[in-house]
Amino acid sequence: MECGIVLKGTEVKSIRCGQAQIAEAFVRLQNNKATLYHAHIAEYAFGTDANHNPYRPRQLLMHKREFRKWEQEIQSGGKAIIPLRLYFKQGLVKIEIGLCRSKKQYDKRDDMKKAVELREAEQMVKRYS
């Protein structure tokens, strides 16, 4: 789903320079508001003393009907809302969010096994090259 995001002026300028990162970010729904946490938007290089905090929580703009639908999905359990991409649309910053299901234990074991195998293969390549 596409949402608007409440930003300060220096944050918009920093995003235009490509200084935003949403890899560790997540969305919480509380008090009839959707809030984005842990999104890093670097301080604007040419900003003044009134520059923004890079990790501050940012409010997302969505219709009440959509908010209630997503809230019901979250309350059903085992799901989270994460940002997928951050982009400009007609001069406004938009964020695409998605509803995700958490991994099962057997999925985590498979990923850990693959990571160990990859690490061992890289060590072997280093050792013999």
| CATH number, domain with residue 91 | 2.40.280.10
pLDDT tens, N- to C-terminus, the chain (129 residues):
999 999 888 888 888 988 899 999 999 998 999 999 999 988 887 877 778 888 899 999 999 999 999 999 888 888 899 999 999 999 899 999 999 987 777 777 888 889 999 999 999 998 887
Which residues is 81 bridged to in the sheet? 27, 99
Residue 96 forms part of a structural domain:
yes
Q: What's the pTM value of the predicted model, to 2 decimals?
A: 0.73
Number of domains in the chain: 1
Contact 78, 105 (CB under 8 A): no
What are the respective helix, strand and coil percentages of the chain, to the nearest 5? 35, 35, 35
Q: Is residue 38 part of a domain?
A: yes
Q: Which residue is it, tokens 């309350």?
A: 75
pLDDT at 82: 92
Sign of torsion over alpha carbons 19, 91, 97, 60: positive
- Domain membership of residue 52 (yes or no) is yes
Residue 118 lies in a domain: no
Q: Does some domain include residue 71?
A: yes
